[in-house]
Amino acid sequence: MDVTRRAVSIGGLGLLAASALSPASAMDLPIADPFEGRGDFWTAVEAYIYGYPLVTMEMTRRVVTNVVEPAGSRGPMGHLIKLREYPDASFTDVTAPNADTLYTTAFVDVGKEPWILSIPEMKDRYFLFPMLDGWTTVFQVPGSRTTGQGAQTYAITGPGWQGDIPEGVTEYKSPTSLVWILGRIYCTGTPEDYAAVHALQDACKLVPLSAYGKDWTPPPGKVDPSIDMKTPVRDQVNRMDAVEYFTLLAELLKTNPPAAADAAIIERMAEIGLVPGKDFDKSKLDTRFVKRIPEIGFGRTMLHFKFSDGDVKDINGWGYTTKTGVYGTEYLQRALIAAIGLGANRPQDAIYPTSLKMKEGMLGRSYEGSNKYVLTFPKGQTPPVRGFWSITMYNDKYFFVENPINRYSISARQNLKTNPDGSTDIYIQHESPGADKESNWLPAPKDKFYLMMRLYWPDDSPPSILDGSWVIPPVRKA
């Protein structure tokens, strides 16, 4: 990763003012270089970007697990958190909610002992249980694509752990002590299907190795009143000054070691007092840098959304990336995804194209509910997936849109009608297109809105979005 003065300040750095999951607008905030020629300043900016995912994961863990018992999207360490239904338009806890899969999630610490995850037989139901390490890398992902539909049990072990695994249990070794399990089970949202998925969620089990095969109940959590439960996690991370940020990063590096491939940046970080396994030595950081490092570090990260050298694509008004889940030494890309889409899957499991504006030549025009739009899939060219696809409607805050038919996303499960030529039109507008077209209607708000397409288990043989042989159609005015 090359974070230089030229890379950061050329033309004035545009900081993207993003929602929690996707950049929605930009504001021009030119950043001058007050420390030209100071190599340690730019090393600190590199270190900030390098550590951003780990710090974000830890702050997310603190907020999510700071409860006594599971409730909604939160639960104590080692507890399975089971979302039981899709949110409606009144839900504002998490931006960009989905109406396709019910989550079964947990944070666990595998530094002291392994944890055992048991998944029941899923029959023909699509599912995936990605496991993320502290750096947001998806190090394993049991599910329909990778391990099949049968019952399966895994021991998630920490770095350096050695011991015996119970018979019939597969070991998944985590590179870090912190692990986030982000299970998703497909659900149509009907009362009958909710009940079926709830039974599968309840059949999932998570226990420490020492309790495997025993009657065990997870202990209640402990609430830390000092943890900010109201401010969005990203805002909490971004408001840290460099000393606070690097002090936390150094502490996290003790149990979440860097990868071997990180040797070069780890060597440079020692110059500013960051050494894995040791406390942060703030005496090596120039006090003039304390406020500027986070500003420029985060600004450089968000600039990568617009100038990514191919990491983020913009095709027909849809922006998306196929570089998620596994990052290697692509620290800017990893930090960007942590900032705008924490918990992203590997591209083989899911891709999330997002459309903020209708593409019109070289320009884009924001979607407005006062207009009528249509997205047309030619005959035989609906999204090529083996899991499922959907298009979700969000307002300008990335929440669901209240509408008379309580439809927040549209997909093949709406029994979409086709045109005489075999094509399929999706009507995107505020008012109903008429009873004969309502099956293909994605209701929009009266004012601005955004669209997100979810492609789970995209086909890897042509036509495929993975290799560019399938192209998302543009949204056009009706």
Q: What is the pLDDT of residue 275?
A: 97
Q: What is the pLDDT of residue 38?
A: 59
Q: What is the pLDDT of residue 19?
A: 33
Query: Hey, is 108 helix, strand or coil?
Result: strand
Does domain 67-211 fall under CATH 2.60.40.1610? My reply is yes
Q: What is the pLDDT of residue 37?
A: 45
How far is 116 from 111, CA to CA, in rounded Å? 14
99-108, 352-361, 401-410, range with the lowest pLDDT: 352-361
Q: Which residues of 43-62 are buried (b: 16+ CB within 10 A; e: fewer)?
A: bbbbbbbbbbbbbbbbbbbb
pLDDT band at 1 (very low <50, low <70, confident <90, very high): low
Question: Which candidate, 391, 381, 355, places its Cα nearest to that of 471?
Answer: 381
How far is 173 from 158, CA to CA, in rounded Å? 6
CA atoms within 13 A on the CB side of 217: 4
Cis preceding-peptide flag for 463 (omega within 30 of 0): yes
Instruction: Give the model confidence (pLDDT) of 375-427 as tens digits.
Output: 999 999 999 999 999 999 999 888 999 999 999 999 999 999 999 999 999 99
- Identify whether the C-beta of residue 165 lies closer than 8 Å to the C-beta of residue 171: yes
Mean pLDDT over residues 205-215, rounded?
A: 97
Average pLDDT value over all residues in the chain: 90
Which region holds residue 374: left if phi is over 0, alpha if psi is between -120 and 50, else beta? beta
Q: What is the pLDDT of residue 349?
A: 98
Mean pLDDT over residues 468-474, rounded?
A: 96
Nearest-5° angle of CA 477, CA 384, CA 121? 130
Asked whether residue 436 carries a pLDDT value surpassing 80, the answer given is yes
Q: Where are the domains of the chain?
A: 5-60+231-338, 67-211, 353-477
Asked whether residue 22 carries a pLDDT value surpassing 70, the answer given is no
Mean pLDDT over residues 444-468, rounded?
A: 96
* DSSP state letters, 315-359: ETTEEE-S--S--TT-HHHHHHHHHHSTTPPPTTTEE--EE-EEE
For the chain, what is the largest distance between any 2 Cα atoms, rounded to a whole number of angstroms? 73
Domain covering 5-60+231-338 in this structure, CATH number: 1.10.3360.10
Q: In what order do the strands lie in the sheet with 441-443?
A: 441-443, 424-429, 373-377, 475-477
How far is 206 from 78, CA to CA, in rounded Å? 7
Q: What is the pLDDT of residue 8?
A: 40
6-15, 323-332, 454-463, range with the lowest pLDDT: 6-15
Asked whether residue 323 carries a pLDDT value surpassing 70, the answer given is yes
More confident call, 141 vs 6: 141
Sequence-distant (6+) residues with CB within 8 A of 110 are 156, 157, 158, 161, 174, 177, 179
Element holding 450 (H helix, E strand): strand 449-458
Which region holds residue 189: left if phi is over 0, alpha if psi is between -120 and 50, else beta? left
Q: What is the pLDDT of residue 94?
A: 74
Which architecture, in CATH terms, is 353-477?
Answer: Sandwich (2.60)
Mean pLDDT over residues 105-119, rounded?
A: 97
Q: What is the pLDDT of residue 162?
A: 94
Query: Hey, is 179 helix, strand or coil?
Result: strand
The separation between the first and the last C-alpha atoms of the chain, rounded to the nearest angstrom, is 44
- The torsion angles phi and psi of 122, rounded to 5 degrees, stand at -105, -5
Q: What is the pLDDT of residue 95?
A: 78
Q: What is the pLDDT of residue 2?
A: 53
- With 0-12 / 13-18 / 19 or more C-beta atoms within 10 angstroms meaning exposed / middle / buried, residue 354 is buried
pTM above 0.85, yes or no: yes
Mean pLDDT over residues 104-132, rounded?
A: 98
How far is 268 from 239, CA to CA, in rounded Å? 24
- Identify whether the C-beta of residue 458 lies closer than 8 Å to the C-beta of residue 321: no
How far is 396 from 477, CA to CA, in rounded Å? 19
Q: What is the pLDDT of residue 398?
A: 87
Q: What is the distance of C-alpha 223 from the center of its chain?
A: 26
Instruction: Give the model confidence (pLDDT) of 160-182 as tens digits.
Output: 899 999 999 999 999 999 999 99
Q: What is the pLDDT of residue 113?
A: 97
73-77, 127-131, 277-281, 286-290, range with the lowest pLDDT: 286-290
Q: For the chain, what percent of residues have pLDDT higher than 70?
A: 91
Asked whether residue 302 carries a pLDDT value surpassing 60, the answer given is yes
More confident call, 40 vs 26: 40
Instruction: Give the model confidence (pLDDT) of 31-54 as tens digits.
Output: 444 455 456 899 999 999 999 999
Instruction: Give the model confidence (pLDDT) of 77-102 as tens digits.
Output: 999 999 999 989 988 777 788 999 99
